[in-house]
Amino acid sequence: MINGVFSNYPGIKLYGVLGEKRKATEKEISRLNRRMKITNELKGNTYLWEKMEYVREVNFTRAEKINIEKMTKKSKAICLLK
């Protein structure tokens, strides 16, 4: 990135299908809280994660590399989804 070019693609765009909305289990909530603990001091943490009551299953169907024209022209990326 120092030269204005990414050595790899900077991100991927995911496409998928959402399942039905359902109540999160205690196990899912505790896992999320454990993962989000590092963000406790950030300004938007409470707004984003305090009332996580519902979840959806996600089935990813496709992934595309993000292209930023000249900055990603020589990048090589691997798509893991088939």
The model's pTM = 0.57
Band (pLDDT 50/70/90 cuts) for residue 18 is very high
* Residue owning tokens 């930023």: 68
**pLDDT reported for residue 71:** 65
SS3 sequence of the chain: CCCCCCCCCCCEEEEEEECCCEECCHHHHHHHHHHHHHHCCCCCHHHHHCCCCEECCEEEEEEEECCCHHHHCCCCCCCCCC
Q: Given a cut of 80, is residue 43 above it in pLDDT? A: yes
Domain residue spans in the chain? 12-69
